[in-house]
């Protein structure tokens, strides 16, 4: 009878047919299954190919449960990795904070302290006596290929949604001008180090603590805010309202109020400089690993599975073959023989096989659930804590203690 190597397409999917360890195990598996099912006493109606098919299925089932554990432990480390050129099977990836960083990016965008999307730098043409400016009919793009056009018109189709104002360049004059740009001898040091023009004699030099000038500047800013018109802004509906009302221009060219806005972001647009809603850089991770469905894991090579795993595979193969034999024998409940009818045990074999499979799978799942990273770290922390308690009970060696009296 031909062995595994001499058989054409011995398994349905040929996942492991070229693995020499699998080939050796496959031939032994036929003997193991048939003897376990009583072939020496009563013929087992299973062909070699049927047993090899169940053997292949058992290895795939073992791989599936191992990869489910890997997915629980390592998915967040590999999200965004290329799916076509990466294979994580039997690899131990290093820890990464990319997942947490990506989760935090929208908060940075909202708080105007970072993020992954470009903001639009726009401006209003300031008019004397006018406080309200419409974000959708008056705000223009300041630079880039859409410079001078309305922001809402420059947005691509499908992204013309709400504009969120991030920053308005509208604030009171710097308090530093009130005490750093005057002809005072005591500000020479601060003026030099903070790049303000100094009018003092170079021979007169005072070294003062910086915090004194910082506190004085804060007091002047508070005074400006309370005693003078407070420079502020707010958005109501589509209008941006600025305070105080413009009453004049301190320079003929100072006719623009600059604003940064963020349109509705498109999380699937990457690296398009002309798309004002796109991500600011080329991000191929958008098309990479996105979840368990495309995590790059393949069947475990059989020659890398150690003895504990192989023993589970043998028992699972036997359970599968037991069910298959039961299905074969269930085709005929009885077989007539001279003087009586032979009763077949097909239904019993089916139920026993399925029960054995269920038990083996549950045992494997319970074992793997104890190997998730959170369980391992919790167990190691408990061991370390108990070790510290034990070390406290150890006697101090001679000469290592301090004796008083």
Q: What is the pLDDT of residues 335-349, one digit of tens each?
A: 666 766 566 778 889
**What is the model's pLDDT at position 272?**
55
Tell which wins on pLDDT, 198 or 45.
45
Termini Cα distance of the chain = 91
Name, in order, each residue with C-beta under 8 angstroms of 131's C-beta and a sequence gap of 6 or more.
Answer: 241, 242, 243, 245, 246
Give the residue among 173, 166, 170, 204 at the shortest CA–CA distance from 186: 204
Name, in order, each residue with C-beta under 8 angstroms of 338's C-beta and a sequence gap of 6 or more.
Answer: none
Domain boundaries, the chain: 20-73+298-386, 101-287
**CA-angle at 192, arms to 186 and 197, nearest 5°:** 85
CB-CB contact of 33 with 321 (8 Å): yes
Model pLDDT for residues 371-381, shown as the tens digit of each residue: 999 999 999 99
**What is the model's pLDDT at position 285?**
86
- Range from 41-50, 165-174, 177-186 that averages highest in pLDDT: 41-50
**Strand-pair category, 132-134 with 140-141:** unpaired
Q: What are phi and psi of 40, to 5 degrees?
A: -70, -25
Name, in order, each residue with C-beta under 8 angstroms of 197's C-beta and a sequence gap of 6 or more.
Answer: 181, 191
Model pLDDT for residues 253-300, shown as the tens digit of each residue: 678 899 999 887 777 776 555 556 566 677 888 889 999 999 999 999
**What is the model's pLDDT at position 277?**
57
**What is the model's pLDDT at position 207?**
64
Q: Average the pLDDT over 348-365 and give the result.
A: 95
Distances 390 to 75, 309, 377, 385, 394 between C-alpha atoms, Å: 37, 36, 20, 9, 7
Residue 323, exposed/middle/buried by CB under 10 A (0-12, 13-18, 19+)? Answer: buried
Q: Average the pLDDT over 43-57 and give the result.
A: 94
**Of the ranges 28-32, 213-217, 366-370, which one carries the lowest mean pLDDT score?**
213-217
Whole-structure pTM value = 0.74
Tokens (6 digits) for 373 = 């990273």
Per-residue pLDDT band for 183 (boundaries 50, 70, 90) equals: very low
Tell which wins on pLDDT, 405 or 315.
315
Distances 283 to 265, 267, 292, 380 between C-alpha atoms, Å: 15, 10, 21, 38
Residue 54's beta-bridge partner residues?
none
CB-CB contact of 38 with 44 (8 Å): yes
């Amino acid at each position: 009878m031909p062995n595994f190597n001499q058989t054409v397409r011995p398994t349905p999917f040929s996942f492991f047919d070229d693995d020499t360890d699998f080939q050796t195990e496959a031939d032994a598996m036929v003997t193991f299954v048939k003897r376990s099912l009583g072939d020496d006493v009563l013929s087992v109606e299973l062909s070699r190919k049927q047993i090899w098919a169940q053997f292949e299925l058992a290895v795939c089932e073992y791989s599936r449960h191992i990869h489910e554990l890997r997915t629980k432990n390592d998915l967040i480390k590999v999200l965004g990795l290329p799916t076509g050129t990466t294979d994580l099977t039997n690899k131990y990836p290093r820890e990464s904070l990319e997942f947490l960083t990506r989760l935090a990016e929208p908060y940075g965008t909202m708080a105007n302290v970072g993020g992954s999307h470009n903001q639009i730098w726009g401006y209003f043409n300031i008019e004397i006596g006018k406080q309200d400016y419409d974000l959708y009919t008056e705000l223009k793009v300041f630079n880039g290929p859409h410079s001078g056009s309305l922001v809402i018109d420059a947005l691509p189709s499908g992204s013309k949604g709400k504009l969120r104002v991030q920053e308005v360049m509208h604030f009171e004059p710097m308090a530093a001008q009130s005490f750093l740009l005057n002809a005072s001898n005591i500000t020479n040091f601060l003026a030099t180090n903070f790049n303000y023009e100094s009018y003092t004699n170079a021979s007169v030099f005072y070294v003062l603590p910086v915090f004194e000038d910082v506190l004085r500047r804060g007091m002047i800013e508070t005074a400006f805010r309370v005693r003078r018109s407070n420079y502020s802004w707010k958005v109501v509906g589509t209008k941006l309202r600025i305070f105080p009302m413009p009453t004049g221009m301190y320079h003929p060219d100072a006719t623009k109020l600059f604003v940064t806005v963020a349109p509705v972001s498109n999380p699937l647009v990457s690296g398009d400089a002309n798309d004002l809603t796109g991500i600011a850089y080329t991000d191929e991770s958008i098309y990479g690993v996105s979840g368990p469905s495309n995590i790059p894991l393949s069947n475990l090579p059989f020659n890398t599975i150690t003895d504990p795993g192989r023993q589970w595979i043998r028992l699972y193969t036997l359970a599968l073959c037991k069910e298959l034999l039961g299905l074969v024998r269930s085709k005929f409940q009885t077989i007539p023989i001279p003087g009586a009818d032979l009763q077949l045990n097909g239904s019993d074999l089916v139920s026993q096989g399925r029960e054995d499979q269920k038990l083996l799978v549950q045992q494997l799942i319970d074992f793997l659930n104890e190997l998730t990273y959170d369980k391992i770290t919790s167990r190691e922390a408990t061991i370390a804590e108990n070790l510290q308690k034990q070390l406290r009970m150890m006697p101090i060696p001679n000469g290592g203690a301090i004796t008083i009296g």
